Amino acid sequence: MIALAAFTAGACVSHALWTLIHECSHNLIFSRTYLNTLAAITANLPHLLPSAVSFQRYHMKHHAFQGVYELDADLPSCWEARLVGNSAVRKCLWLLLFPIFQITRPPRLREIRMFDRWILVNFAFQIVFDIAIYTLAGPKAFWYLAASFFFSVGLHPLGARWIQEHYLVAPPQETYSYYGPFNKLAFNVGYHNEHHDLPSVPWNRLPQIRNGAPELYNSLTFHTSWTKLLLKFIFDPNICLFSRQVRRERGGVALNAEVKPDIDILAAAPNSEPRPADHSANLPLRATRRS
């Protein structure tokens, strides 16, 4: 019963909290960064694992250096991809244990701080919450939250969004959007091309980006069913963890280049017209050199 309740209801709530953490990482909830960080730490509590602040660090690098193995935690590690291979059973296990595999990726990343005071605060709050839940609500409540968390990012239709975003189903296009009913539960997180083009636009306005440029977004390959995509990923031997765009060079941008939000770039050039990103180009996105 715990697993069924977690799969049907808990995963939806847990995934919504993940989306909130994602918005906080882009400072889209409050005007001050520290308030967004505190909101992300609070939303992270039912996940039981402290990951909100570290996600912010890795996610901003993902936007600036998408596909760069040394900096993009969204890319599976080489050993991880070899281990899973093309086996449907191993793909299922990988999805089910996705948070565990995510934890193994940071040590390979460069120029990203593994620990700072905010990460320690995240850990401290999470430990206190976990102990409180186990002590006051009991082990069933604890395992319900744990199962909800694992389903929300893994072996579940909602978990298919990790496949949807950057797994190559129509190369050379490397980023894909999802336009389907689950966006109502996931706060439009499926609008991924739109998000990468303008990451400072909040979730509730992403459909306006697509509607404003239908000749661009409707000409790209997109998904309409996370469930269909989940089954395709599991059973299609032509899709595996190696089905990702990896950049062999960064266009001369240094690994320690400062990550600049698009809102800062646009503010620096108020008279220029924003241009959507090239979704097939083998170039790093939105990173600036340090002098």
Question: Tens-digit pLDDT profile for the chain (291 aa)?
Answer: 899 999 999 999 999 999 999 999 999 999 899 999 999 999 999 999 999 999 998 998 899 889 999 889 999 999 999 999 999 999 999 999 999 999 899 888 887 777 889 999 999 999 999 999 999 999 999 999 999 999 999 999 999 999 999 999 999 999 999 999 999 989 999 999 999 999 999 999 999 999 999 999 999 999 999 999 999 999 999 999 999 999 876 666 777 776 666 766 656 655 544 444 444 333 333 333 332
Diameter of the chain by CA atoms?
A: 58
What pLDDT score does 115 carry? 80
The confidence score (pLDDT) of residue 110 equals: 81
Give the pLDDT confidence score for residue 271 in this predicted structure. 53
Helix %, strand %, coil % of the chain (to 5): 55, 5, 40
Contact (Cβ atoms closer than 8 angstroms) between residue 162 and residue 153: yes
* Whole-structure pTM value: 0.86
- The pLDDT of residue 280 is 37
Domain range annotation of the chain = 2-288
- What is the phi/psi pair of residue 223, to 5°? -105, 150
Distance, in Å, from the CA atom of 7 to the CA atom of 177, rounded to the nearest integer, reads 24
